[in-house]
Structure 1
Amino acid sequence: MYKLIAIDVDDTLINDDKIVTEATQQALEQAITKGVTVTLATGRMYASAQAIARQIGMNVPLITYQGSLVKNLLDGHVLYERSVPQDAARRIWQYAEEHSLHLQLYIDDQLYVQVDNEKTQSYAGLSKIPYIVEPDFSKLIDQPSTKMLIIDEPDYLDEVAVELRDLLGSGVHITKSKPHFLEIMHSEGTKGHALTYLAEHFGCDLSEVMAIGDAWNDREMLEVAGLGVAMGNAVPSLKEIADEITLSNNDDGVAHVIRKHILS
């Protein structure tokens, strides 16, 4: 019996129409009724994730910002938080300036951008959150950033990731949530670290935890969970390390694996 389930949001919980289907909603509700704790583990901001959590009836702490922030849904109490180290944040900003990269900052659950362009608008539309335009990031860079994100072409971001890892060392965690999104967090700001914390918070052994995801940023939580499940639409690298592969996000893959392991 799994006592805790952590589910990624984009391309996992929600389908390509950006909705939680009725079948998935019912499976989640039935699992919760059986006493299973169900939470989200997403790269999204808390402000974005909480709307989805409330839609499906969750009332537990949520793993957000790739694991950099675990926050109670009911009272907004912060349980776990990690910020990008200040020296690393300044280096990332300088690197972005030198290479004319689109950089976004996340401070106190607010999204800050330097320009209001197509990349900003597309991202905000996907996440359904507002943003604040601040052309001069020097006013913000010394404030704790929960996450920093660069938007560009996938192949170029792969090159940027290599350079930033060399520049910043082990103090940060760099991953991709989507091909166009390169995300930088504290080294302990991963879904694996956050899920480990949350399991202890609920008194669960990690062997009693199920994690479900589709992208490489889900790797750490699939590795620490007793059952790591990759979606049918997951990237090949995640499928390779998963314990099990379920159906795709358009075929109610989350509902399928919950029925199999929790409800049957």
Structure 2
Amino acid sequence: MYKLMAIDIDDTLINDDKEVTPATQEALEKAVAKGVVVTLATGRAYASAQAIARQTGLNVPIITYQGALVKNLMDEKVLYERYVPYEAGKKLYDFCIKNNLHLQTYIDDKLYAREENQKLIDYATLNGTQYHIEPDFEKLLSKQTPKFLIIDSPEYLDEISPVLRELLGDGVHITKSKPHFLEIMHKEGTKGAALTFLAGHFGCDLSETIACGDSWNDHEMLEAAGLGVAMGNAIAPLKEIADYVTASNNEDGIKQVIDKFILNAE
């Protein structure tokens, strides 16, 4: 019997219209009624993720910033947090200045960038997030952040990823949440580490957990979970490591997982 289910938001829980369908909503409610802890696991900021969690009626800790922050929905108590090491942030900033890259960060759940540009505007629109401009970006580096994000072409991000891994060292975790989003967190700021923490928090074994996602930033939690589920619209490498591939996010793939493995499970 599965006791904990972690679901990615974008292209997983919500469809391409950015909605949780009534059918999926009903399935979530039935899973919760059966005693399963249903949570979200997202690269989004807490403020952005909590709006969706509240809309779906969830009332549990949620995994945000790829796993760098786990926070209760009700009292907003922080249960787990990992910040990007200062030295890594400084090296990353210098690299982005030198190569004229768009870099953004989050301080106290607020999105900051050095200048306003189309990349920032498009990102903020996509996530329904407000943003703040800080021309003196260096002064933000001394503050604690769960995540830095570089936005550029998928090909260029693939090119600089190994360079950044070498430059920043093994104290950070670097992943892609979308083809054109490269995200940099603390090495323990992964969805897999956060799922492991939450399983312990709720007193269940990892074998009793389900994780659902569509992108490579979900692979740690799919590998950690007892049942790793890739969406029908997931990238091919994720489907290859998944235990089960469900329908797409536009075909109520999450509902299918809940029906099969929670509601109909003996």
The bucket for the TM-score relative to the shorter chain is over 0.9
- Pairing 1:166-245 to 2, within 5 Å after superposition: 166-245=166-245
1:166 Cα deviation from its structure 2 partner = 1.1
Distance 2:165 2:140 in 1: 23
Partner of 1:23: 23
Map Cα deviations across residues 193-219 of structure 1 (whole Å, 9 max, x no partner).
Answer: 000000000001000000000000000
Distance 2:222 2:123 in 1: 26
Map Cα deviations across residues 81-138 of structure 1 (whole Å, 9 max, x no partner).
Answer: 0000010000000000000000001111111011111111111111111111111111
Distance 1:255 1:154 in 2: 31
Partner of 1:77: 77
Which letter does structure 2 place at the counterpart of 1:119? Answer: K
Partner of 1:130: 130
Which letter does structure 1 place at the counterpart of 2:81? Answer: E
Partner of 1:262: 262
Distance 1:163 1:136 in 2: 25
Partner of 2:103: 103
Which letter does structure 1 place at the counterpart of 2:99? Answer: H
- Structure 2: unaligned runs, 5 residues or longer: none
1:260 Cα deviation from its structure 2 partner = 0.4
1:160 Cα deviation from its structure 2 partner = 1.3
3-state DSSP class of the match of 2:250? helix
1:154 Cα deviation from its structure 2 partner = 0.3
Distance 2:22 2:119 in 1: 31
1:145 Cα deviation from its structure 2 partner = 1.2
Distance 1:263 1:123 in 2: 37
3-state DSSP class of the match of 2:189? coil
Q: How many residues align?
A: 264
Which letter does structure 2 place at the counterpart of 1:155? Answer: E
3-state DSSP class of the match of 2:35? coil
1:80 Cα deviation from its structure 2 partner = 0.2
Map Cα deviations across residues 139-190 of structure 1 (whole Å, 9 max, x no partner).
Answer: 1111111100000000000111111001112110000000010000000000
Distance 1:199 1:240 in 2: 24
Distance 1:92 1:62 in 2: 28
Give the TM-score normalised by the residue count of structure 2. 0.98
- Structure 1: unaligned runs, 5 residues or longer: none
Distance 2:257 2:76 in 1: 30
Distance 2:56 2:83 in 1: 29
- Pairing 1:138-149 to 2, within 5 Å after superposition: 138-149=138-149
1:254 Cα deviation from its structure 2 partner = 0.4
Structure 1 residue runs of 4+, over 6 Å off? none
3-state DSSP class of the match of 2:12? helix
Distance 2:197 2:117 in 1: 37
1:79 Cα deviation from its structure 2 partner = 0.3
Partner of 2:32: 32
3-state DSSP class of the match of 1:251? coil
Map Cα deviations across residues 208-263 of structure 1 (whole Å, 9 max, x no partner).
Answer: 00000000000000001000000000000000100010000010000001100111
Please provide the CA RMSD for this pair. Answer: 0.6
Give the TM-score normalised by the residue count of structure 1. 0.99
2:151 paired with 1:151: yes
3-state DSSP class of the match of 1:182? strand
Which letter does structure 1 place at the counterpart of 2:59? Answer: N
1:65 Cα deviation from its structure 2 partner = 0.1
Which letter does structure 2 place at the counterpart of 1:48? Answer: S
Which letter does structure 1 place at the counterpart of 2:153? Answer: E
Distance 1:114 1:24 in 2: 39
